[in-house]
Amino acid sequence: MQATTEERNPNSTDIDLKSTSEIVRIFHEEDRKALAAVEAESDAIAHAIDLCVDAFRAGGRLFYVGAGTSGRLGVLDASECPPTFSTPPEMVQGIIAGADAALRRSIEGEEDKPESGAQAIRERQLTPQDVLVGIASSGRTPYVIGALKEAHTIGATTMFLCCVPPPAQLKSWVTHFITPIVGPEIITGSTRLKAGTATKLVLNMLTTAAMIKLGKVYNNLMVDVHASNTKLVARSIRIVQAVTGVDTAAVTAALAQADGRAKLAIVMLTKDLNATDANALLEKHSGFLRYVLD
């Protein structure tokens, strides 16, 4: 049976005859369908977030695995966690069929090898404390299915993110499904479009909401940002000022003493503590700045 992601879209029939403005209008109409499809999966996404939070609190890790666009989106989301939330690189990891070379050029043949997906899981030494999210728009990618089977055998929590109804054959190996049904693509089978958009939206929520629940956000500020470049240093200064109301010179000095950690600098300034005592206070409250300041 053909996956809906491979069907032809009647809304884009004869798109090659359309004006540029008409093509843009079609994209807007179809992208709204992607957003609605993700919103329809809100309960499933919320449950997935809670599973990730439970895993992180138990010392587990989150892995994404996919091929092509799905794999690239997983690697992208994972790679953004350390600079945004100061997480260790191993906490959230992206696995793509064909390894890093596949990030820049298509290595399509690798996605057909379930044994390669299983091997990737063994190489990363998954444990029952870990979570694996398989990503495959069509719900059929052998590499991803091989990885899910191996992770299930190990006892890890397994999730599947796809843009078709949950494949029946996967229900024995998958703990939880997220299935935004986006419908046929504008260009038949080009799942980097609506399916890719829906996938990115879901991954945004999985990691960001999990980090919020772990205390890495105060109010709506990324207080655990890792100031690794000029832009992020300036952002850290603004974040500390937004919470403390202290002038730039004092904030800069506190950040220097806090080794660039905005959250620690905030505690130092608001509680008039040195870095060691401020860190101890944060640890007492499991890193939740809200509990320290309230």
| CA atoms of 237 and 233, how far apart (whole Å) | 6
**Given the residues 110, 111, 150, 185, the one annotated as active site:** 111
**Given the residues 80, 115, 123, 150, the one annotated as active site:** 80
Pairing of strands 157-161, 92-96: unpaired
Q: C-alpha distances in angstroms, 18 versus 13, 15, 23, 186, 189?
A: 9, 5, 6, 13, 20
E-assigned strand segments in the chain: 62-66, 92-96, 131-135, 157-161, 176-178
DSSP reduced 3-state for 37? helix
* DSSP codes of every residue in 53-100: HHHHHTT--EEEEESHHHHHHHHHHHHHHHHHH---TTTEEEEETTGG
Q: Report the run of H or E that residue 268 belongs to, with start and end.
A: helix 262-271
90 is catalytic: no
7 is catalytic: no
As annotated, the active-site residues are 80, 111
